[in-house]
Amino acid sequence: RNPRVFSTTANNVATARRLPVGVRKKPLRVVVTGGAGFVGSHLVDKLLARGDSVIVVDNFFTGRKENLAHHLTNPRFELIRHDVVEPILLEVDQIYHLACPASPVHYKFNPIKTIKTNVMGTLNMLGLAKRVGARFLLTSTSEVYGDPLEHPQKESYWGHVNPIGVRSCYDEGKRTAETLTMDYHRGAGVEVRIARIFNTYGPRMCLDDGRVVSNFVAQTLRKQPMTVYGDGKQTRSFQYVSDLVDGLITLMESKYIGPFNLGNPGEFTMLELAQVVKETIDPSASVEFKPNTADDPHMRKPDISKAKSLLHWEPKVSLRQGLSRMVSDFQKRILDEK
């Protein structure tokens, strides 16, 4: 452990705890793995805006340089092409570990790579955190609850997960990542934080990543029918990306390890979501039904009472507001394709 780095961290964190999110006296050196992706790039915007120095580590599997193009000339910003499955040496105060494909289409594309990213990638970032005394935040997922038998889901629920199914590379991968995180905390004294993120949407999602919100919005803007899988009665709870970024930073700066559910408790069936997209974007939009994928969870809704009471965090943006905020970004990128 480098004592100089460690004491800097301790001082900064102590300062940060007394200040509201977004206000800070001394800049931190922060790594964001997966920072070229959808959530990561919004997090980087906010960290740079409050004065931190940010290093993004990304292999560009699903991330894009365009998501960070506006920071490339900022001297406090650095972009490293690197795969977290390989070790890396950096000197930093905080690590936000996001690197991992999040859309089912992407994480099923190469499932062995997905589980390696979750296990070896998380191990390397925890090894790094241990060596330099950095605080480490894992972006876990509501998928750790599997096809839940408890509804809504509390953090105390252990989940209902198929260990040998086509989604296991992701949900069992994240469960192992949570285990590693807690073992580095208990065994090596690493300061850790765990966020369990529920379905999140917003500008910069990949246009064709197969997730339901990006699919419905892109399909409607292209005047194609929205593809509803199965009977469309399965539910999800959709969180706008700025609410998630506020939650991640609040958790990192807090004194609590978690896990914390970070999601919007508003629950919608896929048919209801299609109706909201229709009303918000194009009243002439239509739907078509397609067969559902294997092991699709039937329902999902976060119980966020823990985050509300301990972190004083809750989402602010409704589904209708959030959808209208992502339309211009999607519209522009769809036009650029032509």
Those residues whose C-beta lies under 8 Å from the C-beta of residue 137, and which sit 6 or more positions away, are: 94, 95, 96, 97, 192, 193, 194, 195, 248, 251, 252
Report the SS3 class of residue 150. Answer: coil
Touching ligand UDP, residues 35-94 (CB under 6 A): 87-89
Q: DSSP secondary structure string, 286-331?
A: -EEEEPPPTT--S---B--HHIIIII-------HHHHHHHHHHHHH
Find the catalytic residue in 96, 107, 145, 170. Answer: 170
Among residues 293 and 318, whose Cβ is nearest to ligand UDP?
Answer: 293
Member of 66, 231, 288, 296 binding ligand UDP (CB under 6 A):
296
Binding region for ligand UDP (CB under 6 A) out of 110-118, 172-180, 206-214, 316-324 = 206-214
Q: Does 84 bind ligand NAD (CB under 6 A)?
A: yes
Q: Does 60 bind ligand NAD (CB under 6 A)?
A: yes
Q: What are phi and psi of 227, to 5 degrees?
A: -85, 110
Interaction partner, residue 121 (ligand NAD, ligand UDP, none; CB < 5-8 Å by kind) = ligand NAD
Q: DSSP secondary structure string, 170-209?
A: HHHHHHHHHHHHHHHHHHH---EEEEEE--EE-TTS-TTS
Q: Does 197 bind ligand NAD (CB under 6 A)?
A: yes
Distance CA 193, CA 54 (A): 19
Q: Does 229 bind ligand UDP (CB under 6 A)?
A: yes
Catalytic residue status for 170:
yes
Closest approach of ligand UDP to the CB of residue 36, in Å: 19
Q: Does 130 bind ligand UDP (CB under 6 A)?
A: yes
Closest approach of ligand NAD to the CB of residue 36, in Å: 4
Q: DSSP secondary structure string, 81-124?
A: E--TTS------SEEEE--S--SHHHHHHSHHHHHHIIIIIHHH
Member of 28, 30, 38, 260 binding ligand NAD (CB under 6 A):
38
Q: DSSP secondary structure string, 16-40?
A: HHHS-TT--SSPPEEEEETTTSHHH
Interaction partner, residue 124 (ligand NAD, ligand UDP, none; CB < 5-8 Å by kind) = ligand UDP
| Torsion region of 158: left, alpha or beta (phi above 0 gives left; psi -120 to 50 gives alpha) | alpha
Q: Does 36 bind ligand NAD (CB under 6 A)?
A: yes
Q: What does the binding site for ligand NAD look like in residue numbers (CB under 6 A)?
A: 33-34, 36-40, 58-63, 83-85, 98-102, 106, 117, 121, 139, 141, 197, 199-200
Q: What does the binding site for ligand UDP look like in residue numbers (CB under 6 A)?
A: 87-89, 104, 123-124, 127-128, 130-131, 199, 210-212, 215, 227-229, 234, 236, 270, 292-293, 296
Catalytic residue annotation? 170
